[in-house]
A and B are shown apart, each in its own frame.
Chain A
Amino acid sequence: MMTKKLSIQRYLPEQGNAPYWQDFDVPFDDSTSILDALNYVKEELDGSLTYRWSCRMAICGSCGVMINNTPKLGCNSFLREYEGPVKIAPLAHFPVEKDLIVDMEPFLDHLAAVQPYLIDDSRLIDDNEEGTQTYKQTPAQMEKYKQFAGCINCGLCYSACPQFGLNPEFLGPAALTLAHRYNLDSRDQGKKQRMAQMSREEGVWSCTFVGFCSAVCPKNVDPAAAVNQGKVESAKDMLIGIFKG
């Protein structure tokens, strides 16, 4: 079996302050993913290596790491794709807690800030009725937001975004995409509340349309397109506000 050199950025806060690089030789074939390689290191070479994973099939979004400086899902990237040694580091722009584990709390806060759920106060009727009616939606109505509904909250787009790197208060690609996704949903009435978040300086307007978020997204959600459609919405919202006085 062929082997490949893996350089992994280690950080063990209980042992020292500075991160350091550690090399491992890992056997691989055509089906060996980066996550398989990390599992091999942990099981066979160094049990102290720490990283996140769960589904192994690009669904849970927990295995994101920087592979040769590009944010990727470990389970979705394969050693066969890389010539020479492979550098693995924790996701950029997030605080590192240990080895490849980053603190995703800032990211989750940003997601929560845009109220990413159906808002429809007209449905709060009396207790008996609540929950008995079903929403109806045509395929055409669903098509409007479907593209933007595939996000698995992996955070790769935040590691790819230079504006989030410069300003961690920027709501960022995934949160703005989620906001746009619910705004486009025919069942939702919460656009007004979300618009206030989107129209802030740290909302859509911190985006300079770099587009790397869409390049790294493992689900082809195209957050850059969503954010720019959000800019048009925010600009329209401002104009309407001016005319309404």
Chain B
Amino acid sequence: MNKGTSLNNDTSENMKRSDEPIWWGLFSAGGVCFAVFVPAAILFIALLIPAGIIAPEALSFDRARSMLFSLPGLIFIGVVICLPLFHAAHRIRHGLHDLKLGKEHLNKRVTYGGAALLSALALVGFAVGIL
């Protein structure tokens, strides 16, 4: 056995299951959202309505509020804010690893922690809105 590799000593520490499937699952789900829902949201909110192609009343304050603070609004927050946040956090974390910046466990806390915090903020906003 070569020094530096210790693959065959099956100590429990060595064979520990990675928690990566959780982050990878959120990353994959967020990737789909980034590809499908985020561009659609940008298209409607940031392009079609400002360009006047869709009447601005479509997103008048009252209408926007009633749409956002409903079940579809909650789904909207999930697929346009929360999951894309975890997707981005995952990319940043692995990017930092590739650039040999920071410490793995710290990077994980900061990136996923940030995504969780911002998601929580969006959900708190939602909760305040419907109450």
Question: Is B2 a contact of A201 with CB atoms below 8 Å?
Answer: no
Question: Which listed segment binds B: A9-17, A33-41, A49-57, A231-239?
Answer: A231-239
Q: Which residues of A contact B15 (CB under 8 A)?
A: 196-197, 200
Which of A103, A110, A235 is in CB contact (< 8 Å) with B24?
A: A235
Q: How far is the CB of A240 from chain B (nearest CB, A)?
A: 11
Question: Is B5 a contact of A112 with CB atoms below 8 Å?
Answer: no
Given A169-B6, A200-B14, 19 other A-B contacts at CB below 8 A?
A106-B4, A109-B2, A109-B7, A110-B5, A112-B7, A113-B8, A166-B97, A168-B5, A169-B7, A171-B7, A200-B15, A200-B18, A201-B16, A205-B21, A205-B24, A231-B21, A234-B18, A238-B17, A238-B21
Question: Is A105 a contact of B17 with CB atoms below 8 Å?
Answer: no
Cβ contacts A to B, 5 pairs, < 8 Å: A109-B2, A169-B6, A196-B17, A203-B18, A205-B18
Q: Which residues of B contact A234 (CB under 8 A)?
A: 18, 21
Question: Complex: how many Å from CA A239 to CA B20?
Answer: 12
Which residues does A use to contact B, with CB under 8 Å? 103, 105-106, 109-110, 112-113, 162, 166, 168-169, 171, 196-197, 199-201, 203, 205, 208, 231, 234-235, 238-239, 241
Question: Is B7 a contact of A201 with CB atoms below 8 Å?
Answer: no
Question: Complex: how many Å from CA A210 to CA B85?
Answer: 22
Which of B4, B16, B21, B97 is in CB contact (< 8 Å) with A235?
A: B21
Q: Which residues of A contact B6 (CB under 8 A)?
A: 169
Q: How far is the CB of A124 from chain B (nearest CB, A)?
A: 22
Question: Complex: how many Å from CA A66 to CA B95?
Answer: 26
Q: Does B98 belong to the interface (CB within 8 Å)?
A: yes
Q: Which chain A residue lies CB-closest to B90?
A: A208
Question: Is B5 a contact of A169 with CB atoms below 8 Å?
Answer: yes
Question: Complex: how many Å from CA A110 to CA B7?
Answer: 7
Q: How far is the CB of B102 from chain A (nearest CB, A)?
A: 14
State the 6 A-B residue pairs at the shortest beta-carbon distance, nearest first.
A205-B20, A113-B7, A235-B21, A201-B18, A205-B18, A105-B2
Question: Is A106 a contact of B97 with CB atoms below 8 Å?
Answer: no
Q: Does B128 belong to the interface (CB within 8 Å)?
A: no
Q: Which chain A residue lies CB-closest to B20?
A: A205
Question: Complex: how many Å from CA A241 to CA B22?
Answer: 13
Question: Complex: how many Å from CA A137 to CA B15?
Answer: 32
Most buried by B among A168, A208, A241: A208
Q: Which residues of B contact A205 (CB under 8 A)?
A: 18, 20-21, 24
Q: Does B1 belong to the interface (CB within 8 Å)?
A: yes
* B12-49 residues at the A interface, CB under 8 angstroms: 14-18, 20-21, 24-25
